[in-house]
Amino acid sequence: MTHPSSSPVSIVTGGAGFIAVNLIGRLLDAGHAVLAADNLCRGRRDYLEPFASHPALRFVEADLSDRAQCARAFAAASELGRPTEVWHLAANSDIPAGGADPDIDLKDTFLTTFEILRAMRDGSVGTLHFASSSAVYGDHGDAELHESIGPLLPISNYGAMKLASEAQAGAAAESFLERVNLFRFPNVVGVPATHGVLLDFVRKLKRTPGSLDVLGDGTQQKAYLHVSDLVDAMLHVRATKPQGKVLPINIGPIDAGVHVRWIAEQVIARVAPSATIRYGLGNKGWVGDVPRFRYSTQAIADLGWKPSLDSSGAVTRAIDEIARQEGIPEGGLA
């Protein structure tokens, strides 16, 4: 162990996942030691390969919904120095899977939060940064989703267990935490891509380059943020230290988003330019999928942050990154 033991230590859960891999480099660059913990169900150890030789990074394979394994991960963090914050990014990210089997979201999304909070109390770790979701809002029709809207009625088990996690973390701030940031993520795109509509489309085209089947009629509209902007936003909020102990805050692009139809066209242009698109019926892709929403980012704008890419820029960049990840040559498959 060559790094100074006086470094502040950041614990990153879901530490081998999509968001974490993009965050950890920034934390290491800022002089933090990092304990990355992941159950490797969806995350992959090789995503951390770029930092493998960094002396201030340690990886622990652990199911954080298990009390003993969670305690073991926190103990490993203490060997690196004094843990000061947890970035809690571990969750089930497969919304339809959690719809079919509620146990998945219970265990991987909520019980991880529950056990991490216990470990933070036991280890006197004061700050939690939580990867919450726009899914906590549910379907408010055309109303703008700002942080003060109610009621909060998620329509998926995924959203329900994110809201449950927010609630438990907020209560913990009342009794033992110093600071809780509840970052409500939009749809985030980039690499390493593990799931989501862009990766689905790219992989479908890889299998059948002549046509692309789209769930729903393509009129669903969603806002997308590039993962680099997401990490930037979280670090900005952390640095500004807004008033109050608990801050629920939307992170997202300023625009209203792009349509699935447009996304399908962009993926085809990059991956298989001669493919045709076949649409399904209705404007919901699957149970729990909110067809469109207007997402207020005024609160984070008031803290002085704005994204560098809008939804179309984020999607275009991510399609190219994912195409390269999946081995699609420049110019596409055709």
**Residue 181, interface with a second copy (CB under 8 A)?**
no
How far, in Å, CA of 289 to CA of 216, rounded? Answer: 11
Q: Residue 102, preceding bond cis, omega within 30 degrees?
A: no
Residue bearing tokens 């699609």: 328
- Among 79, 174, 178, 302, which residue sits at the site for a second copy (rule: CB under 8 A)? 174
Kindly state the DSSP code that residue 328 receives in the 8-state scheme. P
Stretch that binds a second copy, among 110-118, 259-267, 270-278, 310-318 (CB under 8 A): 110-118
Is 288 an interacting residue with respect to a second copy (CB under 8 A)?
yes
CB 264 within 8 A of CB 273: no
- Helix, strand or coil, per DSSP, at residue 139: coil
DSSP 301: H
CB of 47 to a second copy, least distance (A): 30
Least spacing, CB of residue 154 vs a second copy, in Å = 5
Binding mask 52-91 for a second copy (x = CB under 8 A): ----------------------------------------
Nearer CB in complex with a second copy: 17/248: 248
For residue 102, the minimal CB distance to a second copy (Å) is: 7
Among 40, 152, 215, 254, binds a second copy (CB under 8 A): 152
- Assess 156 for contact with a second copy (CB under 8 A): yes
Place of tokens 């447009």: 262
Smallest separation, CB 145 to a second copy (Å): 10
248 to 277, contacts with a second copy by CB under 8 A? 248
Find the binding residues for a second copy in span 122-151 (CB under 8 A): 136, 138, 147-151
Of 170 and 216, which has the nearer Cβ to a second copy?
170
Provide the minimum distance between the beta carbon of 233 and a second copy in the complex, in angstroms, as a whole number. Answer: 18
Tokens of 141: 């029709």
Q: What backbone phi and psi angles, to 5 degrees, belong to 184?
A: -90, 100
Q: Which one, 289 or 310, has the nearer CB to a second copy?
A: 289
Binds a second copy by CB under 8 A, chosen from 164, 231, 251, 268: 164
Treating both helix axes as pointing N-terminal to C-terminal, what angle do 157-175 and 112-123 enclose, rounded to 10 degrees?
20
CB 181 within 8 A of CB 313: no
Total residues interacting with a second copy, rule: CB under 8 A: 36
Could you give the CA distance from residue 228 to residue 210 in angstroms, rounded to a whole number?
32
Pick from 143, 221, 137, 118: nearest CA to 182: 137
Q: How many CA atoms lie within 13 A of 132 on its CB side?
A: 30
Residue pair 97/156 in contact by the 8 Å Cβ criterion: no
Q: Which value, to the nearest 10 degrees, does the dihedral of the CA atoms of residues 163, 126, 3, 40 take?
A: -20
Which residues would be at the binding site for a second copy (CB under 8 A)?
Answer: 99, 102, 106, 110, 114, 117-118, 136, 138, 147-157, 159-161, 163-164, 166-168, 170-171, 174-175, 246, 248, 287-288
